[in-house]
Amino acid sequence: MKSVVVIDDDIDVLDVIVFALQSDGFDVQSYSNGKLGLEGLLNTPRESLPGLIIVDYLMPEMDGLTFIKEISSNHKELLGGIPLALSSAMGTVNPDVDCKNELIHLHKPMDLDDLLNVVRKYCS
Amino acid sequence: MKIEEKFLSVQNIFQNEKLLRLATEASHVGVWEINQHNKQVHRNLFHDMAFGYKELQPDWDIDKYAEHIHPEDLPILLEKFKSAQVEKSVQNIEFRVIWSDKSIHWVKVSANVDGDQQVGTIIDITEKKRSEIALNEALFYRDEFLSIASHELKTPLTTLKLQSQLFKRLIARQDPSAYRPEKVDRLIDQTDRQVSRLSRLIDNMLDISRIRTGKLSFNFESINVSELVMAVAQKTNTNVIRSDEVFCICDKTRIEQVLMNLLNNAHSYGMGRPVSITLDKSNNHVSISVTDQGMGIEPQNIEKIFNRFKRAVPASEVSGIGLGLYISREIINAHKGRIEVKSIVGKGSTFTVHLPILTGV
């Protein structure tokens, strides 16, 4: 089973997603913005990279779109193969970038089942 | 044609010319006709006024237009004139002209081009254009506001929805973690926080509607401002530097709303550094200052932050819908007071509310 990375600046949203995924037996790493998330991922050994990254769209420091652009432009080799779930309260947001990663859209407020189904698909 | 008929016909022409002149004068329409042979333009005073002249200029040839037409608009203007010639139709063209004082104005030209004959009208539409630009700007900010407001409403809903579904699921499978006191305590705290957040957002949106319709109501009474300052400071974990004992006639709930807004902003933009509040009493005023040591505000953004729907930093940096300061200023204005802000970028900001002690409201 692969781990899952969750990046969201809202502490309560982050907390409940982490609790929900851990309750289902997943190994979860969480970060409060894209910059910290990217640093965390770059410091992860290749064999321990997550099966899925859930990243919020609107965040301080580095938002979801910049995070995706950063991976697509500078870290394609290491992180380009990890599916990205972009969670947004602003509807479907398409990053205007040549993104190698598979993109999944999670619309806030999301259903727990939808969240778990996405994580199960990529991390089980 | 008999001499009497000729006379009547000429009289009709003069009559029609007079009517046309009176009509154009009344409607401030400039008229023009280009003489194809000598390139001179025959026109009336309103034509010249559209280009910034107070009096009819002695002469005007077509090259004079090049001095006035905005260079960016010239190609499209020439294109339209060409179309008018080919299609033998009336073309309506809106473009910018530059007056001799360098100010830019909008005009609308209707050109009827048929062979050698080129005639038309010109009117100044600067005010109309300014209104259009202001309207488009207002619509842009409204749409941006709706987008941010829906994001801000959906964020607490995400927590509430996931929490309720998660606990339902845990209880259904008799997972003991659903009953662990620390988990239940956290759930209750988070629920309370998210419900308060939703309620605050909805109150702000309702206040905006009340302000717009002039229905923001107040309940004025004598209150102990010092007690209020201590209470809001405690709620928001804020240091009280000084709090002089003072009573003031105001709406307690509304002043609390203003102070909570200033304190919440100070904590949101304060980069985690301490926030302080000071209450000073002078002869006939109380001044309540909220100081943070955060990012500060760029001078050009100081006035902008009090505007409805506007914020000094992008929504991605700090959450909120940008209504708080606008509502706060409306509330303080209704108390015949004022809010001022002093800020140094990188050092922090101080927002001060000045309220008269003996109000006549």
User: According to the model, what pLDDT value does residue B22 have?
Assistant: 77
Mean residue pLDDT of chain B comes to 86
Q: Is B122's pLDDT higher than 50?
A: yes
Regarding the domain delimited by B3-124, which CATH topology (the fold level of the hierarchy) does it fall under? Beta-Lactamase (3.30.450)
* Closest residue of chain A to B163, computed from CA coordinates: A16
Contact between chains at A10 and B155 (C-beta distance less than 8 A): yes
Q: At CA B328, angle to CA B273 and CA B220, rounded to 5?
A: 120
Domain that residue A108 falls in = 4-123
Structurally, chain A folds into a number of domains equal to: 1
Q: Do B162 and A58 touch (CB under 8 A)?
A: no
Residue B290: beta bridge partners?
A: B277, B351
Residue B319, pLDDT > 60, answer no
Cβ–Cβ below 8 Å for A60 and B194: no
- C-alpha–C-alpha distance, residues B243 and B255, integer Å: 16
Residue A19 contacts by C-beta under 8 Å, 6 or more apart in sequence?
B166, B183
CATH superfamily of B221-356: Histidine kinase-like ATPase, C-terminal domain (3.30.565.10)
The correct answer on CATH 1.10.287.130 for the domain covering B130-212 is yes
pLDDT at B331 over 80: yes
Interface contact flag, A58 B316, Cβ < 8 Å: yes
Quick one: pLDDT at residue B361? Answer: 43
Give yes or no for B194 touching A (CB within 8 A).
yes
Cα-only R_g, chain B: 33
Cβ–Cβ below 8 Å for B147 and A90: yes
Residue numbers in B near A10 (CB within 8 A): 155, 158-159, 319
* Residue B318's pLDDT band (cuts 50, 70, 90): low
Q: What does the pLDDT average to over A1-15?
A: 93
Nearest to B151 among A13, A89, A112 (CB): A89
Q: According to the model, what pLDDT value does residue B283 have?
A: 80
Condensed to tens digits (0 to 9), the pLDDT of residues B194-215 reads 998 899 888 888 888 888 888 8
- Residues paired with residue A104 on neighbouring β-strands, in sequence order: A85
CA angle, residues A30, A116, A29, in degrees to nearest 5: 15
Residue type, A109: P
Model pTM score: 0.67
Q: What does the pLDDT read at residue B55?
A: 93
> What pLDDT, on the 0 to 100 scale, is given for residue B200?
84
CATH number at residue A99: 3.40.50.2300
A58 to B177: CB separation less than 8 angstroms, yes or no: no
Residue B152 pLDDT: 84
Instruction: Please say if the pLDDT value at position B359 is more than 60.
Output: no
What burial letters (b/e) apply to B169-190, b meaning 16+ CB within 10 Å?
A: bbeeeeeeebeeeebeebbeeb
Report d(CA B319, CA B215) in Å as an integer: 28
pLDDT value at residue B360: 44
* Mean pLDDT confidence for B52-59: 92
Residue B48 has pLDDT above 60, yes or no: yes
Q: Which residue has the higher pLDDT, B123 or B36?
A: B123
Chain A: give the shortest CA distance to residue B188, in Å.
12
Classified as helix, coil or strand, B62 is coil
What chain A residue is nearest to B271 in terms of C-alpha separation?
Answer: A60
Which of A23-27, B167-171, B255-259, B316-320 bottoms out in mean pLDDT, i.e. has the lowest?
Answer: B316-320
Residues whose CB is less than 8 angstroms from the CB of residue A27 and which lie 6 or more positions away in sequence, other chains included = A1, A2, A3, A4
Please compute the mean of the pLDDT values over residues B75-92 and round it to a whole number. 82
Question: Are B162 and A10 within 8 A, CB to CB?
Answer: no
pLDDT for res B321: 65
pLDDT in tens, A74-110: 998 899 999 999 998 877 777 777 788 899 999 999 9
Q: Which two tokens stand for residue B107?
A: 């005009």
Closest Cβ opposite residue B155 in set A108, A111, A112: A108
Q: In this model, does residue A38 exceed pLDDT 80?
A: yes
Residue B16 has pLDDT above 80, yes or no: no
Confidence band (pLDDT; 50, 70, 90) for B94? very high
Q: Of the ranges A58-62, B85-89, B107-111, B312-316, which one carries the lowest mean pLDDT score?
A: B312-316
User: What's residue B317's pLDDT?
Assistant: 53
Where do the structural domains in chain B lie, given as residue ranges?
Answer: 3-124, 130-212, 221-356
- B171 alpha carbon, distance to own chain's centre: 50
Q: How confident is the model at residue A17 (pLDDT cuts 50, 70, 90)?
A: very high
Taking a C-beta distance cutoff of 8 angstroms, is the pair B95, B125 a contact? Answer: no
pLDDT at residue B27 in the model: 75
* Residue-wise pLDDT tens digits, B217-234: 888 999 999 999 999 999
Structural contact between residues A7 and A31, judged by C-beta atoms closer than 8 angstroms: yes
Distance from CA of B270 to the nearest CA of A (A): 14
Q: Among the listed ranges B65-79, B178-192, B248-262, B314-328, which one has the minimum average pLDDT value?
A: B314-328
